[in-house]
């Protein structure tokens, strides 16, 4: 599996991981205070996320469980926003560059644009479901855990099951490998033109991003939420 270092300089990793917090706000919509060079986020958690970006084999998930579920949730939510408002538009911009350079008639461009539009729809829907169902449910659990026994009971929504949600929570990053196949199918042995190279790089990076994101969702957030649900029961 490719790692971050294949795409960018390690010294930029910190910037990449932290830039998603720049527009981050708390659950009341208030922007987080910037603290020195940090961004209102636990520096130890940032450190651990950086480790995950460098290598996710044998990653010690239990180390992440010492942070509050709220911190993990805030991180994942900031990441969603980062994909929707920054990463997807950047990739689309690259497609526009390819379009300007090669024109509409280029067969590879047509395939890529078609593939990517389709992919974007799926990714947005994946994020929408998490933001609509899973995350608010977990926020309710968190709130309830701070309140009275009565409030605790009403938080447990019998119509929503974390386990069922997770069963339907399929990986969204694997399909992105299709992009490099599409490009090499058309370019054959010829060197890949630069605009396509840039596009492929951005897509490969998004693939890596989504893989790390899914690890935190599936192996950190969900077990913590199930644990919290059990405690409230
Ligand atoms: Fe997500
Ligand atoms: Fe997800």
pLDDT of 11 > 70? The answer is no
Instruction: Tell how far the Cα of 215 is from the centroid of ligand 2, in angstroms.
Output: 9
Q: Are 69 and 225 in contact (CB under 8 A)?
A: yes
107-124 average pLDDT score = 88
53-85 confidence digits (pLDDT tens): 887 677 888 888 899 999 999 999 999 999 999
**Per mean pLDDT, which of 4-13, 149-158, 182-191, 213-222 is the most reliable?**
213-222
Which ligand is the nearest neighbour of the Cα of 172?
2
Nearest in space to 155 (alpha carbons), one of 69, 232, 71 = 232
Q: What is the largest CA-CA distance in the chain?
A: 68
Q: Write down the mean pLDDT value for the chain.
A: 82
Which ligand is the nearest neighbour of the Cα of 73?
1
Instruction: Tell how far the Cα of 215 is from the centroid of ligand 1, in angstroms.
Output: 10
Q: How many Å apart are CA 72 and CA 78, to the nearest integer?
A: 10
Write down the pLDDT at residue 53.
Answer: 86
13-24 average pLDDT score = 75
CA distances to 20, 105, 132, 162, 221 from 227, in Å: 28, 54, 21, 11, 10
Instruction: Tell how far the Cα of 132 is from the centroid of ligand 2, in angstroms.
Output: 12
Identify which has the larger pLDDT, 10 or 128.
128
Instruction: Tell how far the Cα of 81 is from the centroid of ligand 2, in angstroms.
Output: 13
What residues sit around ligand 1, an ion, with C-beta below 5 angstroms? Answer: 130
User: Which pTM was predicted?
Assistant: 0.84
Instruction: Tell how far the Cα of 184 is from the centroid of ligand 2, in angstroms.
Output: 29
145-166 average pLDDT score = 76
Structure token pair of residue 12: 């930029």
Q: How many Å apart are CA 141 and CA 173, to the nearest integer?
A: 29
Identify which has the larger pLDDT, 10 or 161.
161
């Amino acid at each position: 599996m490719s790692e971050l270092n294949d795409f960018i300089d390690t010294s930029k990793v910190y910037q990449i991981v932290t830039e998603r917090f720049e527009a981050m706000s708390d659950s009341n919509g208030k922007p987080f205070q910037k603290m020195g060079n940090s961004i209102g986020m636990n520096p130890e958690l940032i450190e651990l996320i950086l480790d995950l970006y460098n290598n996710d084999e044998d990653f010690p998930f239990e180390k992440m469980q010492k942070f509050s579920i709220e911190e993990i949730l805030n991180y994942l939510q900031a990441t969603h926003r980062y994909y929707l408002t920054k990463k997807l538009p950047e990739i689309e911009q690259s497609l526009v560059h390819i379009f300007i350079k090669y024109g509409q008639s280029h067969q590879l461009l047509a395939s890529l644009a078609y593939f990517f539009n389709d992919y974007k729809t799926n990714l947005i829907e994946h994020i929408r479901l998490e933001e609509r169902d899973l995350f608010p449910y977990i926020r309710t659990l968190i709130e309830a855990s701070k309140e009275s026994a009565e409030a605790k009971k009403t938080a447990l929504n019998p119509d929503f099951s974390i386990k069922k949600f997770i069963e339907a929570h399929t990986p969204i990053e694997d399909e992105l490998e299709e992009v490099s196949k599409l490009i090499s199918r058309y370019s054959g042995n010829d060197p890949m033109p630069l605009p396509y190279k840039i596009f492929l790089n951005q897509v490969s990076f998004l693939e890596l991003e989504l893989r790390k994101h899914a690890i935190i969702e599936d192996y950190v957030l969900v077990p913590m939420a199930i644990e919290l649900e059990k405690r409230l029961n």
